[in-house]
């Protein structure tokens, strides 16, 4: 199956080993075709007076439905925007928090789910990472969340070390005091079947370019959660949900790409059924493949005396951070890149995590992040290069 999958990604023909999925995946061929197809036909601003206007409306509706199927949400609660960061800033401002309110953020999160909340002016409470295990302990939330808590922001999976926190347990504590739960699903969505209701997420944000799609993002929430929020908007722009959260004209061609990406993910398993059923099966199949590669990678890194791996709990997403003795992370990444092995280095915007770990001022770490188009041969190339001390 994996060779068939690789054939669906034209960029892989160049021969690079793409181990930077957490920073962005390559687009699948149907996504490229869908974007080109949308740009090759007459499309105008949404409306009903003529066919090009109707086409754009259909592209928006199809993309909302596709994203809702991907994460188990409601199409009427899907908001599109240029990035997860932009959408998080939008919601954090729309909530109109005050210094009397409290927000809970974690040191495990990407800064896009930290700084927007810190900058609201609300009182900030911090959840810490267990640096010996890489876990985000749930128990601490019982003393951090209180009657003044308005929002608990937490990642569904760390983009730095892959940790998958118990979001549902954290959400239950938040909901017990009437707080909202904002979940960063950017890394998680690419690697696991998603059910926003099961997670307990009031808001869930994801970026399509992390799961074979274009550079565009979506926020998913129940329409009833969005309804009381009124972000600043232009007078003529739509006042209803979800449209009032979308600034300017949407990128219709990228929405066509998002729909194609979701449809493609639904083909990763031979299971039949509606798109939701096929997506759950497809993402489960992808996760099983990635987990096998992660096991190979972790065992291989453990056998190298020159490599120190940052700890993460079992069951993490397939993302590993490490450092090579005697090399800065930037130097390691540069040497690997010269051999066609693409990895990330630095803090990958997980600034609080690397600050807590005492590694940010010394260059962070090197990140190898697997995706379902990776193979055992890709992992072997990385391990062999590291064994040669790159």
Q: Which residues of 160-185 are buried (b: 16+ CB within 10 A; e: fewer)?
A: bbbbbbebeebbebbeeeebbbbbbb
pLDDT at 30 over 70: yes
pLDDT score of 2 more than 70:
no
pLDDT, average across residues 153-180: 98
State yes or no: pLDDT of 3 exceeds 80: no
pLDDT at 146 over 70: yes
Q: Give me the pLDDT at residue 4, please.
A: 85
| Interval 85-102 mean pLDDT | 98
Specify whether the CB–CB gap between 175 and 218 falls below 8 A.
no
Write down all domains in the chain, each with its CATH number in brackets: 2-27+283-387 (3.90.1150.10)
> What pLDDT is stored for residue 389 in this prediction?
82
């Amino acid at each position: 199956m994996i060779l068939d999958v690789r054939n669906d990604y034209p960029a892989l023909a160049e021969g690079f080993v793409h181990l930077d999925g957490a920073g962005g995946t390559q687009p699948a061929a149907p996504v490229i075709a869908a974007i080109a197809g949308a740009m090759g036909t007459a499309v105008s601003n949404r409306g009903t007076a003529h066919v090009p206007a109707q086409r754009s409306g259909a592209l928006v509706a199809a993309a909302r439905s596709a994203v809702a199927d991907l994460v188990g949400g409601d199409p009427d609660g899907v908001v599109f925007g240029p990035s997860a960061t932009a959408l998080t800033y939008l919601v954090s401002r729309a909530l109109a928090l005050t210094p009397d309110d409290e927000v809970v953020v974690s040191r495990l999160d990407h800064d896009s789910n930290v700084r927007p909340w810190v900058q609201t002016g609300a009182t900030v409470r911090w959840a810490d990472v267990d640096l010996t295990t890489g876990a985000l302990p749930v128990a601490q939330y019982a003393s951090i969340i209180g009657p003044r808590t308005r929002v608990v922001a937490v990642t569904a999976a760390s983009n730095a070390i892959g940790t998958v926190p118990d979001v549902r347990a954290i959400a239950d504590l938040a909901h017990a005091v009437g707080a909202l739960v904002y979940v960063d699903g950017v890394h998680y969505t690419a690697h696991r079947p998603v059910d926003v209701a099961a997670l307990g997420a009031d808001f869930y944000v994801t970026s399509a370019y992390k799961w074979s799609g274009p550079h565009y993002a979506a926020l998913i929430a129940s329409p009833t959660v969005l309804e009381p929020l009124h972000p600043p908007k232009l007078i003529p722009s739509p006042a209803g949900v979800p449209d009032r959260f979308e600034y300017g004209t949407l990128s219709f061609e990228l929405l066509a790409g998002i729909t194609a990406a979701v449809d493609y993910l639904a083909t990763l398993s031979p299971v039949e059924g509606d798109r939701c059923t096929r997506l759950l099966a497809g993402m489960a199949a992808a996760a099983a493949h990635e987990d096998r590669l992660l096991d190979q990678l972790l065992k291989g890194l453990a056998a190298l005396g020159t490599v120190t791996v940052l700890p993460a709990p079992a069951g993490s997403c397939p993302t590993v951070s490490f450092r090579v003795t005697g090399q800065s992370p930037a130097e390691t990444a540069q040497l690997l890149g010269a051999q066609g092995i693409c990895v990330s280095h630095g803090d990958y915007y997980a600034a609080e995590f690397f600050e807590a770990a005492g590694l940010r001022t010394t260059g962070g770490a090197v990140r190898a992040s697997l995706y379902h188009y990776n193979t055992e041969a890709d992992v072997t190339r990385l391990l062999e290069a590291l064994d040669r001390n790159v």
